[in-house]
A and B are shown apart, each in its own frame.
Chain A
Amino acid sequence: MEETEKHILWVEDDDELANLFIARMRKDGLLVQRAENGEKALAMFDALHPDLILVDLMLPKMSGFDFIQSIRSMQGIAQPKILILSAMGRPDDETKARKFGADGYMIKSQVSIIQIIQTIRNYLDLPNSATAGVAIPL
């Protein structure tokens, strides 16, 4: 099942976990593309017009915060939802992220993939996941 209207961009350099998540999200029917770093993501931005961006804070070259700032400072475009999906969190990161304009903040190893999927669907006003199968954890 494909929902061709909403595009998701994931900025993540290389992480097995992230790759697994992307595979899982695709199986759920979400359209996900991956960019390895901030610069490539900005390049893909114009072509893709993503509705939602998932970004890891620890990126090579351009930092996650800088990337968010670049997106938020763009004029004349529909601003996408931005979800931080980072490896390890410090308490300041979340406040800082929200200040930069992120909509959500999650720590990769602390959320289940189903939670991520459901959060994304919620942000994109999509119906609930159909492939959750077993009980959704809270």
Chain B
Amino acid sequence: MTERRMMLARRSSQEAVFYESITRKLRWSVILIVLITLPLHQPQTVPFILLISLACMFNLSRYSNLLMRSTWYSSRFTFLAADNILVTALLIEAGGINNPYTFLLALVIVTAAYWYGKRGAAIVTTFQILALSVVSFVRPFHSITISPVSSLILIGCLIVIFAILVEQLTSAERVKRIKLEKLEYEKTQISNRLLALINSLGDAVATVDENGFITIANTALTELSDREADLVGKRISTVLPLQHAFKPDLDWSEVLRTAPSRYRDYTLKRGKGNVVSLELTITPITQNGLEKSEFIILCHDITQDRTLDEQRQEFISVASHELRTPLAFIEGALSLALATPKEIADPDTLKFLKKAYHNVLFLSSLVSDLTLLSKAQNDALEIQPQVVEPKQIVNHLIEDYAPQAKEKYLDLKAEFKPDTTSVLSTEHHIEQILRNLISNAIKYTKTGEIVVGIEPAQNNGILFSVRDTGPGISQADQKKLFTKYFRSEDYQTRETGGTGLGLYICQEIAKRIDAKLWCRSRIGHGATFYLEVPPFSKLDKDQKEVVAAGVSDLVNQL
């Protein structure tokens, strides 16, 4: 059924209900009057009138039941017929079969039935009973004679008056109802349009309450979660079980607690092994300036972007390698030329060759740094947690950097606190960060020592520290230490060179393994950099095998 016809059907049945509600009241009162005036009737007619009245009451109550059902339209005729028969019977009894008035009255009633039947059968029957009651009243006072014409006119007037009354009553009511219906209709239109808009969005949208139950979900979400049924009332955690490459699965209660927020590293496993990367945006809903305890969740598919990221990563990897080899060559050649400076006759040539050498060294370290940075920002997929031996890493690093420390006559040593055991993390990342910290320490310390420390940290983590006896870092510099391209304004420090990316990269790498990196220093009292590495908390089957292999290696070494 079209919307308009539905509306019209609803309206006419609403009208009918309205008519019925008024007329039902009228009819009950009329029947009551008939019953009250029973003593005024002829004794032999009393039982008959009683019977018919009871039948009318029964019909009335049945009628109300019929109204409640939607098939009212089809039962209407049956009811009307029954009603008409009953009333006619009562009429005949009241007026007498030989009474010409009875015939006329019956005719008028039938005509009225047809006319009023269009608006609502209820009016007809009411009118019938009214007419009945008139007769009922008139009958006892049969001594009063009314001529046929005058009684016809009287009845005619009654019909008209009654019609006008009902019309007045219903028109006001109808106007009000039409207005309401129009508003309802407009409201429905607007909400339909909004729904259509939300449903045609490509991104999956849902609103959830504070307990994570979905209150609204659009078509895109149903598709994304590979479901058929309505998602309303379901938990968002079962509809979107999002996973991370190396962190635990997404904890939705935590997510809702810390909204507004955005996540870019989570994926959803769909049917047929298809995995999509999603960008999640969660915002609390505000209405009239007040924050409700509902949230809106937007999922944007970034699988394409991720693929592009991987391609870019590969390109950077290849490009940087291509860049590095020629740079290494240039650096080597210049170093060769400058090894015997006396062989270079022209002092200007010597000067500029030296500058060229400095520049190529800077360029090399910049290329290294940029590659590292790019890797750190993109290699979510490469994390393979393993059992890491901190002492081993530090010992290797000290071996590697011993020459450089020796060159500057610095003392480079390790300090292991007891009870330090292994930690579940990645050696590669920890080593990269420590390398940077140690090489910085060597670079900026003029005399003294550099101590690399290991001690246990909370939750079975490990705390690494690199302490130097260098010039220290000012409070102002400490605030910006880990930002991009930061180089100290301090003359002595600046002179030593560096790309300004080192600590920024360390921070990015640390983020990858959930580690914390910070610095404690005072000007003139050296600096200590701390790296706290927590153990990985999520392991999938493959990773567990790697760990198991690592553990068995350790056992074999004992």
- A110 touches B (CB below 8 Å): yes
Contact across chains for B361 and A137 when beta carbons are under 8 A apart = yes
Interface of A is mostly: helix
Chain B, 314-342, CB within 8 A of any chain A CB: 321, 324-325, 327-329, 331-333, 335-336, 338-341
Chain A residue numbers with a CB within 8 Å of B368 are: 110
* List of A residues within 8 angstroms of B399 by Cβ: 104
Which residues in window 87-138 of A have CB below 8 A to B? 87-88, 91, 95, 98, 104, 108-115, 118-119, 121-122, 128, 131, 133-138
Contact B404 A134 (CB under 8 A): no
Closest to B406 in A: A122
B321 touches A109 (CB 8 A): yes
Residue in A closest to B323 when the chains form the complex, CB atoms: A109
Give the complex CA separation of A128 and B332 in angstroms.
18
Indicate with 1 or 0, residue by residue over B409-425, a CB within 8 angstroms of chain A CB atoms.
00000000000000000
**Most chain-A CB neighbours within 10 Å: which of B332, B407, B439, B443?**
B332
The stretch that binds B, out of A20-28, A53-61, A70-78, is A20-28
Expressed in whole angstroms, the Cα–Cα distance for A41 and B2 within the complex equals 92
Among B327, B335, B358, chain A packs the most CB atoms within 10 A around the CB of B335
CB within 8 Å for A136 and B407 given contacts A104-B400, A109-B325? yes
B378 at the interface (CB under 8 A from A): no
> Could you tell me if B340 and A20 are in contact, using CB atoms closer than 8 angstroms?
no
Q: Return the contact of B336 from the options A16, A20, A122 (Cβ within 8 A).
A: A20
Do the beta carbons of A134 and B338 come within 8 Å of each other?
A: yes
Q: A112-B364, A134-B338 are in contact. Are A122 and B333 (CB under 8 A)?
A: no
* B426, closest chain A residue (CB): A91
List which B446-465 residues lie within 8 A (CB) of chain A: none
- CB closest chain-B residue, reference A104: B400
- Whether B339 contacts A122 by the Cβ 8 Å rule is no
Residues from chain B with a CB closer than 8 A to the CB of A62 are none
B336 and A118 contacting across the interface, CB-CB below 8 Å: no
**Nearest A residue (CB) for B350:** A133
Cβ of B260 < 8 Å from any Cβ of A? no
* Whole-angstrom CA separation of A119 from B400 in the bound complex: 8
A134 touching B325 in the complex, CB below 8 Å, given contacts A118-B403, A122-B402: no
Q: Is the CB of B339 within 8 A of A20?
A: no
**How far, in Å, is B422 (CB) from chain A's closest CB?**
15
Contacts of B358 in A (CB 8 A): 134-135
Contact B404 A24 (CB under 8 A): no
A138 CB contact (under 8 Å) in B338, B339, B442: B442
Q: Which residues of A sit under 8 angstroms from B482, Cβ to Cβ?
A: none
User: Are B328 and A109 touching (Cβ within 8 A)?
Assistant: yes
Are B403 and A108 interface neighbours, CB within 8 A?
no
Q: How large is the interface on B (under 10, 10 to 19, 20 to 34, 35 or more residues)?
A: 35 or more
Given A118-B407, A119-B403, do A108 and B340 touch, yes or no (CB 8 Å)?
no
With beta carbons under 8 angstroms apart, the residue of B336, B341, B354, B428 that contacts A24 is B336
Which residue from chain A places its CB closest to the CB of B334 in the assembled complex? A134
Given A24-B339, A133-B339, A134-B338, check contact A108 B328 (CB 8 Å): yes
Most buried by B among A24, A109, A111, A121: A109
Is the CB–CB distance between B428 and A112 below 8 Å? no
- A138 and B439 in contact (CB under 8 A), knowing A17-B325, A27-B340, A122-B406? yes
- Residues of B near A121 (CB, < 8 A) are 403
Q: Which residues does chain A contribute within 8 Å of B328, judged by CB atoms? A: 17, 108-113
A115 CB contacts on chain B under 8 angstroms: 403-404
Are B404 and A131 within 8 A (Cβ)?
no
Q: Verify A23–B406 contact, CB threshold 8 A.
A: no
B181-226: which have CB < 8 Å to A? Answer: none
CB distance from A6 to the nearest CB of B (A): 15
Docked Cα-Cα span, A46 to B111, in Å, equals: 133
Q: Taking the complex as formed, is B474 at the interface, i.e. its CB lies under 8 A from any CB of chain A?
A: no
Of A95, A118, A119, A137, the most chain B CB neighbours within 10 A belong to A137
> In the assembled complex, how far is the CB of residue A86 from the closest CB belonging to chain B, in whole angstroms?
12
CA distance A28 to B400 in the complex (A): 21
CA distance A136 to B406 in the complex (A): 12
B127 in the interface (beta carbon within 8 A) = no
Of A24, A131, A136, which one neighbours B332 at CB under 8 angstroms? A24
10 contacts between A and B (CB under 8 A): A23-B336, A24-B336, A109-B324, A110-B328, A131-B340, A134-B354, A135-B358, A136-B404, A136-B407, A138-B439
Besides the contacts A27-B340, A133-B335, what 18 more A-B pairs have beta carbons closer than 8 Å? A17-B328, A17-B329, A20-B329, A24-B332, A95-B427, A98-B396, A109-B325, A110-B368, A112-B335, A112-B364, A114-B335, A118-B407, A119-B400, A122-B406, A134-B354, A135-B358, A137-B361, A138-B442
The 4 closest A-B pairs by CB, nearest first: A109-B324, A122-B403, A131-B339, A20-B332
Using a CB–CB cutoff of 8 Å, the interface residues on chain B facing chain A are 321, 324-325, 327-329, 331-333, 335-336, 338-341, 354, 357-358, 361, 364-365, 368, 396, 399-400, 402-404, 406-407, 427-428, 439, 442-443
Q: Which residues of A contact B (CB under 8 A)?
A: 16-17, 20-21, 23-24, 27-28, 87-88, 91, 95, 98, 104, 108-115, 118-119, 121-122, 128, 131, 133-138
